[in-house]
């Protein structure tokens, strides 16, 4: 392990919810919950104001609504989150060639590899400057941890939340870790934590006192050795710039179990098309097609088929997914479907067996437009729907966002990131003057000064940025 705290861990603060608060002035300082809004939806992120009520990520949305009934519940805008994440990752890559993203809002950086820091003082300056740059570029906050290892840097960033910076100086790790809960260590979840608690081990120092042999006896050889090393603050894992993608997949969970076999088949075809778009977006192809089916009784089945060569042809992948579906009994109903491709490569190979499918695909037209809306928010094609939290533009009132919809009506709050909290208006769901729009930037450049418009400043900026 190195002798200076030159490994940085960045964790954006309540990322999805913070993006929504930054883009919607009326939600700033209020409880915001982002996730799937259907009966089977789960919380993706909760703002700190919502966490006060006990709401947290991965919680069933129904439970969140009971805990925080007055919070704003919004459908994720993943495309927007990804665009902001890319701006943050650009700042990290300016510091070092070794940046290891863990998700859209989290990454490790080896500052030493980039020559950005070499001791505690220089590392602290880099961390402070990074937080300021993130705020200037995105208008958001991130928490930074600095330490001599990845494990410790992540623990430090957790201690820094929200909107802080913590440095763990080499030589102080053992004293710092000792009184912490065993759940602080990576890989110690509820089950392992309960197992250790029953053995009288609740803190990291008690892991050290128990000894390596006892840990191996309790948890097995691999887990026991690894956990004991972490308790001693030993972690030599390097920051890895590129993680090899092993598979590309998409899946949807449905509010109501699907019993109609024809509908199941159509859903699988749609998922195959979405999977192809992700493949092509990443410049990849694959040989193994995987179908995932979770049935009414929560039993999950997977079926796979390996082709003769890698492909990103939608006809090939549709045909393979349909054949896999033929081998699955869906009589009792289906609650989740997924299509994936593994055995990835960065080239394609013709598959003659699927030429007919390819010809049919051309006749059918291009792949469907990509949708970031979860399945529970996606309607039949003929129905016009307005996901809560998504951007819209009105021909008269300018840019706004959907506050709610139903019974043929949609309620819109007209405001922009740079405006005051805006006014609310309700329209018919098929109002021809209302249309979906692209999100507006959270931080405007000097050349994009906001011009006051009707209903809370939704003027020229909203018009320029609206989707066609």
191 Cβ neighbours under 8 A, 6+ residues apart: none
Q: Which of 106, 173, 376, 455 is catalytic?
A: 106
Q: How many CA atoms lie within 13 A of 89 on its CB side?
A: 17
Closest Cα to residue 157, out of 148, 167, 170, 149?
Answer: 167
Among this protein's residues, is 106 annotated catalytic? yes
Residue 424 in 3-state DSSP? strand
Residue 165 to residue 190: CA distance in whole angstroms? 28
CB 286 within 8 A of CB 311: yes
Q: How far is residue 204's CA from residue 268's CA, in Å, rounded to a whole number?
A: 47
* Nearest in space to 40 (alpha carbons), one of 13, 6, 63: 63
Provide the CA 349 distance to its chain's centre, in angstroms.
Answer: 32
Q: What is the DSSP string of 312-370?
A: --HHHHHHHHHHHHHTS--TT-EEEEEEEEEEEESS----GGGHHHHHHHHHH-SPPPP
CA atoms of 207 and 210, how far apart (whole Å): 5
Contact (CB, 8 A) for 193 and 148: no
Query: Is the peptide bond prior to 162 cis by the omega test (within 30 degrees of 0)?
Result: yes
Report the alpha-carbon distance of residue 181 to residue 188 in Å, rounded. Answer: 10
CA angle 103, 106, 109 (to 5 degrees): 115
**Range 309-322 burial, b when 16+ CB lie within 10 A, else e:** bbbbbbbbbbbbbe
Q: Write out the catalytic residue numbers.
A: 106
């Amino acid at each position: 392990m190195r002798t200076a705290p030159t490994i940085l861990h960045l964790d954006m603060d309540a990322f999805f919810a913070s993006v929504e608060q930054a883009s919607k002035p009326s939600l700033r300082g209020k409880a915001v919950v982002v996730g799937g809004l259907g009966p089977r939806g789960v919380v993706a992120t909760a703002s700190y104001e919502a966490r006060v009520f006990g709401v947290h990520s991965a919680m069933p949305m129904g439970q969140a609504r009971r805990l925080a009934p007055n919070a704003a519940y919004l459908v994720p805008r993943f495309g927007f989150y990804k665009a902001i994440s890319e701006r943050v990752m650009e700042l990290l890559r300016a510091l070092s060639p070794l940046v290891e993203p863990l998700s859209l809002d989290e990454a490790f950086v080896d500052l030493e590899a980039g020559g950005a820091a070499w001791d505690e003082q220089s590392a602290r300056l880099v961390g402070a400057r990074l937080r300021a740059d993130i705020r200037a570029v995105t208008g958001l906050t991130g928490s930074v941890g600095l330490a001599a290892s990845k494990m410790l840097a992540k623990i430090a960033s957790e201690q820094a939340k929200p909107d802080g910076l913590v440095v763990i100086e080499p030589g102080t790790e053992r004293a710092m870790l000792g009184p912490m809960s065993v759940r602080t260590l990576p890989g110690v979840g509820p089950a392992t934590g309960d197992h250790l608690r029953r053995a009288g081990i609740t803190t990291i120092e008690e892991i050290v006192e128990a000894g390596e042999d006892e840990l191996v006896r309790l948890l097995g050889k691999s887990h026991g050795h690894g956990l004991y090393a972490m308790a001693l603050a030993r972690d030599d894992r390097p920051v890895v710039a590129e993680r090899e993608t092993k598979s590309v997949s998409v899946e949807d969970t449905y509010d109501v179990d699907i019993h109609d076999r024809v509908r199941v088949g159509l859903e699988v075809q749609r998922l195959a098309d979405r999977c192809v778009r992700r493949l092509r977006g990443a410049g990849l192809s694959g040989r193994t097609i995987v179908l995932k089916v979770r049935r009414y009784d929560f039993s999950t089945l997977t079926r796979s088929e390996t082709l003769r060569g890698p492909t990103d042809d939608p006809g090939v992948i549709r045909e393979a997914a349909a054949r896999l579906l033929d081998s699955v009994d869906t009589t009792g109903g289906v609650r989740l479907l997924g299509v994936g491709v593994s055995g990835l490569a960065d080239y394609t190979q013709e598959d003659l067996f699927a030429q007919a499918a390819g010809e049919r695909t051309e006749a059918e037209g291009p792949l469907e437009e990509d949708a970031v809306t979860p399945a529970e928010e996606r309607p039949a094609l003929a129905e016009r729907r307005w996901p809560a939290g998504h951007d819209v533009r009105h021909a008269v009132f300018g840019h706004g966002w959907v506050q709610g919809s139903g019974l043929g009506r949609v309620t819109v709050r007209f405001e922009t990131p740079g405006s005051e909290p805006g006014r609310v208006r309700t329209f018919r769901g098929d109002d021809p003057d209302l249309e979906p729009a692209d999100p507006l930037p959270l931080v405007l450049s000097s050349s994009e000064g906001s011009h006051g418009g009707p209903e809370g400043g939704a003027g020229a900026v909203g018009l320029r940025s609206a989707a066609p």
